[in-house]
Structure 1
Amino acid sequence: MKHNSIMIKLWSGIIITILCILFMSMFFQTRFLYSFYFNEKVKEVEKIGQDIARALGRNEYNFNIPYVDAIKNVNDMIIVTDISGRITYITGSVDYKQGWVFGLKYLDDILDGEKIQDGNKMLKGLDSLIIGVPIKRSQEPLWDVKQKQLYENEIESRALQEIIGAVYIVTPLEPLETTIQAIKIQFLYIFIGAIIISSLIALLLSHSFSDPLIKINDAAKEIARGNYNTKIHLKSSREIITLGETINNLARQLSRVEQIRREFIANVSHELRTPLSYLKGYTEILIDGLAETDSDREKYLNIILEESERLRKMVDEILHLSQIEAGSIQLKLSSFSIDALIKRTIDKILPLAVKRDISIKYNKVDDDLLLCLADENRIKQVLINLLTNATKHSYDHSNILISSYRLNDRIYICVRDFGEGISEEDLPFIWDRFYTAGKSKDKSIEGIGLGLSIIKSIINAHGCDITVNSVKEEGTEFCFWLPSYAEN
């Protein structure tokens, strides 16, 4: 499996995303928990220190009475000092003794009546928290219980207080760190489990997503090799299924285009071979002097001329379409009467229709000249091609109907025949190059399938559109519109 495959990229992306989320969760969670537990520990120790300091301030304890009932943790160390920092009582440590000096760096804050908070390694070299609380002597009058409670709430009153020492409590932080470490270990197990589960899910998701794409890619390669019978059957999301159907439709379209291309090559080969054979054959007759009379020579020369003109027409059609699609032909816009142009075109095509007893009828609603703003020569070419096609595919003894009318600022022209029609299967391809549907009833007007492509290119070059409606065995109608001409 390639390292840059979409399956590996999807799997890696999902795993990295999950790991980032877990890592961030662990980082913020442990930081938050440590801060929370630490603050709670500070509050707890401060409360104990304040209880002891308050009791000492009221003379409820003397310095010889142990403070066992105030100690919540057997590992805590309690130190009581006087106003000069000399230890008057100590419990929980053998490293300090009564009468020693302690906490001189905190003494100024204590004398200002402030609490202190610091860290050290006083307890067996472990990280410890030290909390210091000043001892304030209370000159409490003899009040009733309610007044006493009010007094305790207002104990901060400076008039009734005098700082006589400090209470320091040192408590180890090891339990807190142990708790955080345990949480980290739990997160490690969660990491491992999440990686395993997410890996399986990521593999399934990436496989379900990449497998259809691999099938589509394989099908595209087959189409590129010319195998247009490739079919894709997918069971995936709606978007992937739609993409597969698009590839299938592309294969069908390319198959149709390939069929049209082959038909065109066959048609062109046939169309070119016939006039070239005539040219070669009659030219050899003239060169060899086999034409016995002047009338024979004239006849042969006329055939050569007709076949040469036929070849020129085919080449002109191909070059003309290429020039239009390349945009190298500039339209020469002018105002002209589409009514008059239709009548002239009918006169030109009528001899071809008369051969098969086909009548051409022109239906115009009123006497409007139907002035258009377009390239008259190009529109004439469009009409000739449409009427030629209509004659080509009409049944003998049938009719061709032409209608024109004005609607708002547009002039519409429709050409309808009652002939063989176009099948629903062929209809989407009629504008393609070299398309031919059926064979002409009159071999003299057989084409090579460029007429409709030229028509559509000319109409689109004017910024207009052309449509077609057809029913097999009933006939076909082409309609296009042009902008009407106005003086302003």
Structure 2
Amino acid sequence: MVWNSIVGKLWITIIGLVAVVLTLLSLLLVQFLDGYYLEQRTDNLKKLAVQLTKTIEATPDSEHIQTAKEMVEAYNTNLLVVGLKEGSINAVDQGLPQVPSNLLTEHPVLKKALEGEVGVVRGRFPVLQPPMQNEIGEKEILAVSVPLHTKEGTNGAIILYQNLQDMTETTKETTKYILYAAAISIFLTTIFAFFLSTRITNPLRQMTKAADSISRGNFDTIITIKSGDEIGELASTFNRMAKQLDELIHALSREKDQLFSVLRSMVDGVITVDKSGEILIINPPAEEMLKALKFESSGKEWGSKDSLIGLQPPEPFVTYSKEVVETEHESVIDITAQGRVWSVVLAPLYDRNQVSGVVAVLRDMTKERQLDKLRKDFIANVSHELRTPLAMLQGYSEAIVDDIAVSPEETKELAQIIYDESVRMSRLVNELLDLGRMEAGHIELNRKQVEILPIFDKIIRKFSVVGNEQKITVIPEFMLMPEAQFSLDADRIEQVFTNLIDNAIRHTHADGKVFVSTMIKDDQLFIEVRDTGTGIPEEDLPFVFERFYKADKARTRSRSGTGLGLSIVKQIVAAHGGQISVHSKLGEGTTFSITIPNEHQD
């Protein structure tokens, strides 16, 4: 744990550096002290030995030992004189530890003094403590020997030696102080390291916590800057980075929301799938299409709350998507399900020049296909409605011109047929013109407050006669007050009733009934025309208000109309601001319901 922290690494590094420096310093200092003191002592002993030799050589025999003794006492030095008449003499016996004489006189380096050379020896020798001459162990001794020439002409040597214990103790004391300094340095280093902990690691910990907070999505995290050094600059840079990241995330979020809003508001469906075929992005129109495809293929409808993200779209979308991924080419197809037609444009989706999925744009072409079909039906119906009367007009006219009719009665009958067909053509043309003006928004209403009960009674009386001729009963169900008034264009409303009741009578068998209901409620006029006729097939209900659309598909001239009546009714009701709807069941009858709001005159 210590090594994994900055404080621990810094602390260990500084301690190691201090230890190395102090160790090197200690070694160099000890070596310096040892060499310096040894050199100084050696020189001093040499000088003292030379001076002693001069003194002994110049002093009478009876006095030279005493003289030498006085000189070396001042230097705390042991003296051994070799070569005098007395032999080897230890001239100092004031209680200093002494090295056995034979070890010194027999030492090969010190014996060089007898040959005229100066000898210097540093080593460990056994030491005796006077006056009992008890051995007290080995001591480190520095010994110097110089040649000695006496008056008698004999050669000898003077050996001076000192105990180096004081120098060793000095070195130990120096080392001890160095160790004290090392301990103090380590203590101060520890304090310094933990001081750095508050100056360096605390901001780093704050940045670590801030980075962790940002990683969890809190992009507004700010680090408090308390210094202007590199740590402060790092914290300031971190805050700028967090702010820019927050702005970038918000910008991306806004773009995502805008894209999502655009996708949701699009009329066309958009689907994005990955290479494995799972849905990544989908908007509501596309969801409706996939739900229709799913129901078409399996008969099971996806719940409205189910998320389609991550699911596999149903066939045939999967097959076409795989083809686009494999071929890397755009594809345009039509998919039909539940009576609706979608045009689908599939294009490969690239990620770094690699196909990562497929994006598909789906457009509901049901209305366009219906309009195209209605256009074709319109042309066919108009051609049929005009071709037949024109052919009859031409044929019967030729019969009259060629005098095929042999009697005035036959001629009158042919003329009547020509008249009826011309009236039929005139009505067709007028209805087409009226419908065209209505669809273009040029319908003119003479809307005013009128008593509506007399209008409806007039219509019922007219169609009751027509119904009685075909054994069909027209039953009024008026829930109106006699003085009830409403804002209407009376002529246009009569046209609405005429078309609806005429249709009901034409599609109701003998002994059937047609019910006409009206009522005013919540300032709205409700009209309902209900019959007990043949009914309209369910697949034809969405198209009954289209021009020339005929649910019975029959083109018999006695029972079928022009196919424009319901289109005109819808336009008149819409011009009044109302709505019309149809409900029917095959074999049971049909009901047309109209709701018109009142218009109050100022």
Scaled by the length of structure 2, what TM-score is found? Answer: 0.43
Are 1:284 and 2:401 matched, yes or no? Answer: no
Q: Return closer, same or farther for 1:421/1:370 CA change in 2, 3 Å cut-off.
A: farther
Q: How does 1:271-310 map to 2 (within 5 A)?
A: 271-288=385-402, 299-310=413-424
Q: Look up the match of 1:71.
A: none
Maintained 8 Å contact 2:463/2:501: yes
Query: Residue 324 of structure 1: CA displacement?
Result: 1.8
Query: Residue 52 of structure 1: CA displacement?
Result: 4.8
Which of 17, 40, 45 matches 1:49? 17
Q: Return closer, same or farther for 1:385/1:51 CA change in 2, 3 Å cut-off.
A: farther
Aligned partners of 2:385, 2:601: CA distance in 1, in Å?
47
Q: Look up the match of 1:382.
A: 496
Are 1:403 and 2:520 matched, yes or no? Answer: no
Maintained 8 Å contact 1:363/1:404: yes
Which of 340, 343, 348 matches 2:454? 340
Aligned partners of 1:153, 1:367: CA distance in 2, in Å?
105
Query: Residue 333 of structure 1: CA displacement?
Result: 2.7
Which of 445, 453, 470 matches 1:356? 470
Aligned partners of 1:230, 1:202: CA distance in 2, in Å?
21
Aligned partners of 2:17, 2:576: CA distance in 1, in Å?
96
Q: Look up the match of 1:478.
A: 592
Q: Return closer, same or farther for 1:429/1:366 CA change in 2, 3 Å cut-off.
A: closer
Per-residue displacement from partner, 1:295-318 (whole Å, max 9, x unpaired)? Answer: 665554443232111012112223
Give the number of the structure whose alpha-carbon radius of gyration is greater. 2
Q: Secondary structure at the match of 1:395?
A: coil
Aligned partners of 2:190, 2:600: CA distance in 1, in Å?
103
Give me the CA root mean square deviation: 5.0
Q: Look up the match of 2:575.
A: 461
Greater displacement, 335-344 / 461-470: 335-344
Maintained 8 Å contact 2:11/2:189: no
Task: Work out the percentage of aligned pairs sharing the same amino acid.
Answer: 29
Maintained 8 Å contact 1:372/1:482: no
Q: Return closer, same or farther for 1:351/1:446 CA change in 2, 3 Å cut-off.
A: farther
Q: Look up the match of 1:417.
A: 531
Aligned partners of 2:480, 2:465: CA distance in 1, in Å?
27
Are 1:61 and 2:36 matched, yes or no? Answer: no
Aligned partners of 1:450, 1:65: CA distance in 2, in Å?
126
Query: Residue 389 of structure 1: CA displacement?
Result: 0.6
Per-residue displacement from partner, 1:169-209 (whole Å, max 9, x unpaired)? Answer: xxxxxxxxxxxxxxxxxxxxxxxxxxxxxxxx964459988
Aligned partners of 2:192, 2:540: CA distance in 1, in Å?
101
Maintained 8 Å contact 1:393/1:441: no
Greater displacement, 359-368 / 442-451: 442-451
Q: Return closer, same or farther for 1:154/1:293 CA change in 2, 3 Å cut-off.
A: closer
Q: Secondary structure at the match of 1:357?
A: coil
Q: Return closer, same or farther for 1:298/1:472 CA change in 2, 3 Å cut-off.
A: same
Q: Secondary structure at the match of 2:471?
A: coil
Aligned partners of 1:432, 1:302: CA distance in 2, in Å?
32
Q: Return closer, same or farther for 1:420/1:154 CA change in 2, 3 Å cut-off.
A: closer
Maintained 8 Å contact 1:357/1:397: yes
Q: Look up the match of 2:97.
A: none
Aligned partners of 1:42, 1:153: CA distance in 2, in Å?
12
Q: Secondary structure at the match of 1:422?
A: coil
Aligned partners of 1:60, 1:447: CA distance in 2, in Å?
124
Q: Look up the match of 1:176.
A: none
Give the letter for the 1:422 counterpart. Answer: I
Per-residue displacement from partner, 1:357-401 (whole Å, max 9, x unpaired)? Answer: 112121112424442323333322211110111011011122211
Aligned partners of 1:203, 1:229: CA distance in 2, in Å?
26
Aligned partners of 2:487, 2:379: CA distance in 1, in Å?
38
Maintained 8 Å contact 1:434/1:450: yes
Q: Secondary structure at the match of 1:425?
A: helix
Aligned partners of 1:152, 1:366: CA distance in 2, in Å?
104
Maintained 8 Å contact 1:426/1:437: yes
Per-residue displacement from partner, 1:103-146 (whole Å, max 9, x unpaired)? Answer: xxxxxxxxxxxxxxxxxxxxxxxxxxxxxxxxxxxx99x99x99
Aligned partners of 2:551, 2:402: CA distance in 1, in Å?
42
Maintained 8 Å contact 1:418/1:474: yes
Maintained 8 Å contact 2:583/2:591: yes
Q: Return closer, same or farther for 1:469/1:369 CA change in 2, 3 Å cut-off.
A: farther
Q: Secondary structure at the match of 2:570?
A: helix
Aligned partners of 1:364, 1:286: CA distance in 2, in Å?
51
Maintained 8 Å contact 2:446/2:488: yes
Aligned partners of 1:455, 1:151: CA distance in 2, in Å?
101
Give the letter for the 2:522 counterpart. Answer: N
Are 1:427 and 2:427 matched, yes or no? Answer: no
Query: Residue 480 of structure 1: CA displacement?
Result: 0.3
Are 1:372 and 2:486 matched, yes or no? Answer: yes
Maintained 8 Å contact 1:421/1:473: yes
Maintained 8 Å contact 2:453/2:480: no
Q: Return closer, same or farther for 1:293/1:415 CA change in 2, 3 Å cut-off.
A: same
Aligned partners of 1:361, 1:307: CA distance in 2, in Å?
32
Per-residue displacement from partner, 1:254-291 (whole Å, max 9, x unpaired)? Answer: 77777766665555444333321231123224444556
Maintained 8 Å contact 1:370/1:484: no
Matched positions, count:
315
Q: Look up the match of 2:78.
A: none
Which of 323, 338, 342 matches 2:437? 323
Maintained 8 Å contact 2:386/2:425: yes
Aligned partners of 1:150, 1:255: CA distance in 2, in Å?
91
Gap runs ≥5 in structure 2: 32-176, 194-272, 280-311, 325-329, 345-357
Q: Return closer, same or farther for 1:392/1:262 CA change in 2, 3 Å cut-off.
A: farther
Maintained 8 Å contact 1:388/1:445: no
Q: Secondary structure at the match of 2:529?
A: strand
Maintained 8 Å contact 1:264/1:449: no
Q: Which structure has the higher relative contact order (CA within 8 Å, separation 6+)?
A: 1
Give the letter for the 2:451 counterpart. Answer: S
Which of 545, 560, 577 matches 1:446? 560
Give the letter for the 2:528 counterpart. Answer: C
Aligned partners of 2:278, 2:30: CA distance in 1, in Å?
73
Query: Residue 404 of structure 1: CA displacement?
Result: 0.6
Q: Look up the match of 2:506.
A: 392
Query: Residue 330 of structure 1: CA displacement?
Result: 3.7
Aligned partners of 1:368, 1:457: CA distance in 2, in Å?
28
Q: How does 1:218-297 map to 2 (within 5 A)?
A: 218-220=332-334, 267-288=381-402
Aligned partners of 1:43, 1:211: CA distance in 2, in Å?
67
Q: Secondary structure at the match of 1:219?
A: strand
Aligned partners of 1:339, 1:217: CA distance in 2, in Å?
62
Q: Secondary structure at the match of 2:538?
A: coil
Scaled by the length of structure 1, what TM-score is found? Answer: 0.51
Greater displacement, 301-310 / 280-289: 280-289
